[in-house]
Amino acid sequence: MATMSPKEFKHILVGVDDSEDAQLAFRYAINRAKADGAKLTIVSILEQDNMNVYEAMSKDYVHGKRADLEAHVLKYKALAERYGVQDVNVVVDEGDPGETIVKDIIPALKPDLLVIGSVSKQGVRKYFGSQAAYMAKHASISVLVIR
């Protein structure tokens, strides 16, 4: 009987925010990327619906929030590189996380695995990360939801 080896991924996309689940997802993704010798792209989305109307209209506020998010994502990149992942990239975008990742980022970057946490950072375990549910249902690639 032929032995079956587990699927190896060439390009792993991991979604991060500041939830514990996202940190678990990130840890899984860097382990998997290192084991498979895969490229790793770390993505985070600035959600404007978490801002009040005055914040959302203020270019300085949005720019500041985006700069904070970019700095945060670059820390993840440095951690992945220190861990030994060879090819690490980052993407910061704005919008609805699930839709932006599924409709814009996956088609543009063509990863073959999306790793995400199950809980969004807003509210009381905000709807089984309805973001995670949306991505698991609509992504054109394999999705691994970490809890």
Strand 11-15 and strand 142-146: pairing? unpaired
- Structure confidence at residue 4 (pLDDT): 58
Per-residue pLDDT tens listing for the chain (147 residues)? 556 567 889 999 999 987 888 999 999 999 999 999 999 999 999 987 778 888 888 889 888 999 999 999 999 999 999 999 999 999 999 998 899 999 999 999 999 999 999 875 554 444 445 788 899 999 999 999 998
CA distance 1 to 3: 6
- Structure confidence at residue 120 (pLDDT): 57
Q: What tokens does 129 get? A: 């990360």
Domain boundaries, the chain: 11-146
- Structure confidence at residue 125 (pLDDT): 46
CA distance 107 to 134: 16
Q: Is the pTM of this model over 0.75?
A: yes
Q: What tokens does 99 get? A: 């839709």
| Residue 123 backbone zone (phi > 0: left; psi -120 to 50: alpha; other: beta) | left
CA distance 78 to 74: 6
* CATH of region 11-146: 3.40.50.620
